[in-house]
Amino acid sequence: MEFLETSVDKFVFRVARDYRYNDADVWAKREGARVRIGLTDFLQQKSGDVAFVNLKEIGTELGVNDELAALETIKVDLVIPAPLAGKIVAVNDALADHPELVNSDCYGAGWLVEIEPANIADYDALLDAETYLPQMQARAELEREK
């Protein structure tokens, strides 16, 4: 997996090159007819250690921005909205016993759900890594100022 990187102060944020993104800092990766979804490095660092992951069930029909997961960390309960509409066809069972995967391998083993998109064109409309990186950087700098 190849990454783009940027840093704000001492924090380094990685962005997987072949993935797609939205401005909620959620990634999507096309796997054939399905799209896999997870948290970006910036979001997992901002949110803290994940203690528990609550994923919506297989079969759930999601509209854009519908809740697909809730992640409980020490600081927040993070509601993750769907970056594109579709039906959940797979969930990452490993997170039940190892929620920390969301932090340690957010682009790989820490994926959340896979969906069958309602409209595959929605995937292409998401931001690519090069476009996402500076937008994420701007948000990271805003976080630092808080």
Partner 1 sequence: MTMETFDLAILGGGPGGYVAALHAAQLGARVVLIEKARVGGTCLNVGCIPTKALHASAEFYRDARVKSAALGVDIPNAVVNWAQMQKHKQDTVDQLVRGVEQLLSAKKVTLWRGEGRFLSPHRLQVVGASETRQVEAPRIIIATGAASAALPVPGANFSGVITSTEALSLERVPEKLVIVGAGVIGIEFASLYRALGAQVTVLEMLPRILVGTDEELARRLLQLLRRAGIDIQLNVQVLAIEESQPLTVRYSDAKGEHTAPGDYVLVATGRVPVTRGTGIDTLGIAMNRRAIAVNERMETNVEGVYAIGDVIGGWMLAHVASAEGKVAAENALGKAGAIDYRAVPNCVYSMPELASVGMTEADARAAQIPIKVGKFPFSANARALSFRETDGLVKIVAHAETDVILGMHILGPRATDLIAEGALAVQAGVNAREVGHLIHAHPTLPEAVMEAALDVTGEMIHYQRVRVGA
**Interface residues toward partner 1, by CB under 8 A:** 22-26, 43, 47, 51-52, 54, 65, 67, 72-81, 96-97
Which of the 8 DSSP states describes residue 50?
E
- Among residues 5, 75, 23, the alpha carbon closest in space to that of 46 is found at 75
Shortest distance in whole angstroms from residue 127 CB to partner 1: 12
The residue among 9 and 97 lying less far from partner 1, judged by its C-beta, is: 97
The residue among 51 and 120 lying less far from partner 1, judged by its C-beta, is: 51
Tell me the DSSP string of 6-41: EEETTEEEEEETT-EE-TTSEEEEEETTEEEEEE-H
The residue among 2 and 146 lying less far from partner 1, judged by its C-beta, is: 146
The residue among 96 and 142 lying less far from partner 1, judged by its C-beta, is: 96
Shortest distance in whole angstroms from residue 54 CB to partner 1: 8
Question: Token pair for residue 5?
Answer: 């990187």
Shortest distance in whole angstroms from residue 97 CB to partner 1: 6
Asked if residues 60 and 87 have their Cβ atoms less than 8 Å apart, the reply is: yes
